Structure 1
Amino acid sequence: MKLQHIDFIDQIPKRFNSTINRREFIKTGTMVSCAFLCPSFLSAEKSNANSNSDDNRFIREASYYEKLDHKKIRCLLCPRECVVDDRERGYCGVRENRNGIYYTLVYARPCTYHIDPIEKKPLFHFHPGSLAFSLATAGCNLNCKFCQNWQISQVTPEQVQSIYLPPKDTAKAAANNNCVSIAYTYSEPTIFYEYMYDTAEAGHKENVK
């Protein structure tokens, strides 16, 4: 699967001037928005909005859990430590117990991605003026009343449209679009730990932080 490079992304300056004027700000913001909306941004394969969670592309055995009696498991990934019955999911909605084995259902399954200025994260003096390839999957282990991304954080993977974007392709997309880093954002990235970990390793090989 080859990810296409956006020609006009090269027009975005690698370093934003600290005294950027209003016109330059609007111009840069428009180009970044176009990068997100442009159909050629990614040629990754889309999954159906109500895709079946039995799709093996998205399933990996979860990290950090322990098996209990009667096919129950205890998730050890976050402080909630959910005890999950067979055929049930944890609080986050993206990790499921199947016959006593715990699985993530959102591996390589982002429901949103974007190219952001690093300052939007927000980070202070971390490669200032650079771009970050931002992504997230559905679900969250929190329920913040002020969440601005509740449309993706408070739903299950089956309730949003997603794409199939493996770690290596994510890293290449970031590198091809002049992104210095990959940001796991918009929801709590702990819930897609396996995908995040493998993407970070793939990014390291592409010299993307």
Structure 2
Amino acid sequence: MLILNNATKEYDDVIVFKGLSHSIEKGKIYSLLGPSGCGKTTILRILAELEKPSKGNIDLQGQRVSYIFQEPRLLPWETVRKNLELVCPKKEIKKINEILELMELKDYSNAYPKELSGGMKQRVAIMRAFLYPHEILLMDEPFQALDLKLKTKLIKEIYNLHQSMKNTILFVTHDLDEALLLGDEILILSPKPAKIVKKFTINIPQAERKPDDMQFIKEEITRLLNHAPI
């Protein structure tokens, strides 16, 4: 599926990317890594049609998109449960209790966002994105407000939800370990104007992945991100 077709994005005199084309395979998880400010979030926003490319186009073939932003963006006047019910189809309402328990937030279903910690609010935002009907899920650094233990748990749970839904995920992160733990493919972007300089395919089953066991890949990706020759 060709999602970006010769797409260019410019802001005044700044070229974020130029003539960028890329295809993805349905049902896979793609991790996007690149230097700060290279345009990773801009790519997601264009795919979500929150922005338009300056030239070229996108083609999602009619597939619906859900989005996890860097910040939770919950409705402050609604409870956790109501924030979830507002996006969940009525026939799927029973899933809310299941996912609240999965995310260890069942006891907070009637709480308001102001009563939750930053990490808890982000977990609600993740739940909401999965409950919203979609085929493509865009995730923009969704784990940055979470501690290491919870982050590791959520990566596993997100992968399990992905396996049951067979959705396609594009995941922006600056954390190499996150990218390796979750992604089926790692896409490395260059500085602006961004282009995809290399792709890594991870064939290790997700349940067996340990960043320390993928040291060679980590070193190679780190060299790319630091613009050193391989």
TM range (shorter): under 0.3
Higher relative contact order (CA 8 A, sep 6+): 2
- Normalising by structure 1, what TM-score? 0.25
- Normalising by structure 2, what TM-score? 0.24
User: Going by fraction, where is strand more abundant, 1 or 2?
Assistant: 2
User: Going by fraction, where is helix more abundant, 1 or 2?
Assistant: 2
